[in-house]
Amino acid sequence: MTENNAAATTSGRVAIVTGGSKGIGRETAARLGREGYAVVIGYGGSKDSAEQAVKDVEQAGGRAVAVQADVADEIAVAALFDRAEQEFGGVDVVVNSAGIMPLAPLAELDLEVLDRVIRTNLRGTFVVNQQATHRVRNGGAIVNVSSSLTKLARPAYSAYAASKGGVEAITLILAREMRGRDITVNAVAPGPTATSLFFDGKPQELIDRITAEPPLERLGEPSDIAEIIAFLAGPARWINGQVIYANGGSVA
């Protein structure tokens, strides 16, 4: 499908993108805007970043608003969906890319940090998906963001990888629970991607080593992942109940 044809079929569709103020979420919001979506950018922290993400979508040709919401708070998430319906008339696509990634060996990880990772990454996915089951219109799509770290088993990532393993389980089960609704449910599992979430707290030696691992010998770019999410959100109607590992060949 050409980009122009894709825009013709997605014009008028409405997407919610959590974690949409930066990284993969922000790039995804702009990518959907390029295809004519109206986008509700859910963000947790920086209002300035969220407002810039709105401008990115508008410059790409879409419409957008930014709404602050804690993805693990069911009342806040319901209000996020309410805003999408009020502004744009409904919801067709939900992309759940909000997440945090504090790193430490399992033996040293503070359990309060573990609770925070599980709350945002796992409970947040559950809450957003639960609301999506009630709000997404037939013909729509739910796309969760997991991680290739569920397969890479890299030291210091136990909490993050465990939370993302749960994201994949939710995704596969929900796809089957949506039987008869004409709504696809998939997950994208990026490998190392050039975002602040990846770079923060890592020494250059580790960054260089991870960058060299894929056969393509580079980090993923947010645009690499956004392209896959946009495909799953729109034309990829026969891909359902799948985890797509997007990591340049680091792991199958």
Point out the residues that are catalytic: 160
The amino acid at residue 87 is E
- DSSP alpha helices (H): ranges in 15-123? 23-34, 47-60, 74-88, 111-117
Q: What is the amino acid identity at position 216? A: L
Residues 81, 144: Cα–Cα separation, whole Å:
16
Q: Give residues with Cβ within 8 angstroms of 65, minimum separation 6.
A: 40, 41, 54, 83, 87
Type and span of the H or E element at 137: strand 136-145
Residues 189, 163 contacting (CB under 8 angstroms) = no
- Give the angle 169-240-164 at the CA atoms, nearest 5°: 25
End-to-end CA distance of the chain: 26
Q: Between β-strands 91-96 and 184-190, what pairing exists: parallel, antiparallel or unpaired?
A: unpaired
